[in-house]
A and B are shown apart, each in its own frame.
Chain A
Amino acid sequence: MEMIAPAAQELIPNNAAATGDDALLEISLGPHHPSTHGVFRMDVVLDGERVVKLKPVFGYLHRNHEKIAEGASYLASMPYTDRLDYIGSLTNNWAYALAVEKLAGIQIPERAEYIRVITAELTRLQNHASTIGFLTQEMGASGSPLMYSFREREKILDLFESLTGSRMMCNYMRFGGCRVDLPAGWLDQTRKVVADFPGFLDEFERLLEGNEILLARTQGVGVLSRELAIQAGVTGPILRASGVNYDIRKVDRYGIYDRFDFRVPLGEHGDVYDRYMVRMLEMRESLKILEQALRDIPSGPIMDTKTKIRGFRPKAGEAYGRIESPKGELGFFLISDGSPNPYRYRVRPPSLINLTVLEDMCLGSNVSDTIVIFGTIDIVLGEVDR
């Protein structure tokens, strides 16, 4: 075949003489929505239907987030953190607020801690629900599972809107607490949503459990070994699906997570099916945390009174705050020189670091499996490119 791409030959030097039926083909998956996850491109070299080389290409959504934050006040970066992982803006808020609170030595009131746990676990629910919806969509289940998960996500987004004023760009947490107190009746609405959610999970399991197509497409596909996952710094549900017991809610016990009784679901094989099941089980555990938090939430102030909104200047120093976001370890590293804006502001995005193992998981699989494997990493390009 004369049409072989020159770049493909460079990538595979041993194959320089390949012509005819053995020729490798370099194709570009993307950059617009290879699988509904945003603007991302994969440079894939194919031997027939098998992937022999895969190069992720990103940066299409780069917005200079870190440098903008270094020129802006600490408060002004808070709404920008919503736009990192725009599916779960409240966990981003929390990670940034935690880093600044460590930097400035702020203690936050008990009620604010509970509100943070409740909103973060709701974020985890809606993130995992939509991730599984997208995953089934990528396997060809066009419509139904995604629409059912979006129907449930909608209820949680309504709760976010009545609390924070916005469905996705919440901009809710502040250094020293939360921006506004819970509106009247919000806790009861949340209790109702939390009580109804297991019904949705049961329905979802009936819909997909034992589905032969799902099993054929997921079991044994895209295996990520335990060793590689640890070496590459992978975190979140993908790491736990490979059988590593590492959840920052348990390791760091940040906030008030030491008060709640919940378990960390682990996978065994590290394939696509385990990653799907770990997320399903994590939603059940999140519901347990939510029930406990909604039962125990105290009344009281929601903001630390000593922290100023305007003219906030932490003293010189550095701090790293990290949380278990739905996608993995989300960390913010800040250096302060005593001025109103950070000297250095660095985000440790789980999506980007989890993406580094994409090639290892995809080698030898079909093009259609590549899309499914990519889907289980659960990335959001707002966070990858920043």
Chain B
Amino acid sequence: MLGEGIAKGLVETARNFIGSYFSKNRLTTVQYPEERLPQIEATRDFPFLVYDGDDWQAGMRCVGCQICEKECPPKCIYIEKSKDKKPDAVGKLQFYPAVFNIDVSVCMSCQICVEVCPFEAIKMDTEFELSTDNRFGGLLWDKARLSKPNAYYGKVHPTDAAASDALLAEEKAKVEAKAKAAGETKTNSELTSPPLATSGATSKQ
């Protein structure tokens, strides 16, 4: 009979329409912003800079090595290295970024900066409500805007943050052990042969 196929299809539509009053599976719309879906852990949008402790300037993990600047596919990162040094996350004296800008209007959220960073300093954020009425300055984020504490990283990506913390703790332990060993040999050598430092200085000349 002509129209039978259409009628069968309409039964299916009706089933979905009526089902949407009873079944959660058929009612897919979420009333954002009153209702929100739970955030998926791996979600990423724009990068941020991780710092340890309370002071974002003292605890900044980034050492201004500019690897992410070079590897960034759309070249949205701009870094200027500092002239002086400060201790980094594992206790070594390192440079820090005097300027660190990310143009988020250019950033394509690919996370390659995170992959290439050897210092666990740049990570992906999950904050997505970022609209601004200033399309130039409002989308060029400087390092003060980009810096977020390690605790925040632990909150948005718990699994990754735990792995990253373990890695840093291991490195820190290594550096400390090395420093301790170096300190011991240094004190030993100072005791046995004090003119070592002078001889080093003369050889340099």
**Interfacial residues, chain A to chain B (CB-CB below 8 A):** 72-73, 75-80, 82, 144, 148, 151, 154, 158, 161-166, 169, 171, 179-180, 183, 203, 206-215, 309-310
Contact = CB atoms under 8 A, between A and B. Distances in A.
Contact of B9 (A72, A163, A183, A206): A206
A75 B5 contact: no
In the complex, the 6 A-B pairs of residues with the closest C-beta atoms, listed nearest first: A210-B5, A79-B110, A165-B44, A76-B73, A211-B5, A165-B42
B116 A210 contact: no
A73 B8 contact: no
B16 interface: yes
B2 A212 contact: yes
A296 B111 CA distance: 30
Given A164-B42, A214-B5, 4 more contacts: A82-B110, A144-B16, A171-B110, A211-B8
A269 B67 CA distance: 56
B185 interface: no
A183 B163 CA distance: 13
Nearest to A68: B73
A212 B3 CA distance: 6
Contacts of A148: 16
Contacts of B13: 144, 207
Interface of B: 2-6, 8-9, 11-13, 16, 28, 40-44, 67, 71-73, 108-112, 115-116, 124, 159
Given A79-B108, A80-B73, A310-B67, A162 B42 contact: yes
A171 B116 contact: no
10 contacts: A76-B112, A158-B40, A161-B40, A162-B41, A162-B42, A164-B42, A165-B44, A165-B111, A207-B9, A213-B6
A222 B2 CA distance: 24
A76 B40 CA distance: 26
Contact of B124 (A163, A165, A208, A309): A165
A331 to B, nearest CB: 22
Nearest to A83: B108
A183 B73 contact: no
A162 B40 CA distance: 6
B110 A206 contact: no
A109 to B, nearest CB: 18
A212 B11 CA distance: 15
A165 B43 contact: yes
Residue of B108, B110, B111 contacting most chain A CB atoms (<10 Å)? B110
Contact of B8 (A183, A210, A310): A210
B109 A151 contact: no
Contacts of A163: 42
Contact of B110 (A144, A169, A208): A169
Contacts of A211: 5-6, 8-9
A79 B5 contact: no
A73 B5 contact: no
Contacts of A165: 42-44, 111, 124
Contacts of A161: 40, 42-43
A27 to B, nearest CB: 31
A79 B112 CA distance: 9
A141 to B, nearest CB: 9
Contacts of B72: 76
B5 A209 contact: yes
A166 B5 CA distance: 39
A183 to B, nearest CB: 7
A309 B116 CA distance: 7
A206 B12 contact: yes
Nearest to A170: B110
A37 B109 CA distance: 24
Given A76-B73, A211-B6, A166 B44 contact: yes
Residue of B12, B41, B116 contacting most chain A CB atoms (<10 Å)? B12
Contacts of A207: 9, 12-13
Contacts of A169: 108-110
B8 to A, nearest CB: 6
B42 A183 contact: yes
A171 B72 CA distance: 13
B111 to A, nearest CB: 7
A151 B28 contact: yes
Contacts of B110: 78-79, 82, 169, 171
A166 B67 contact: no
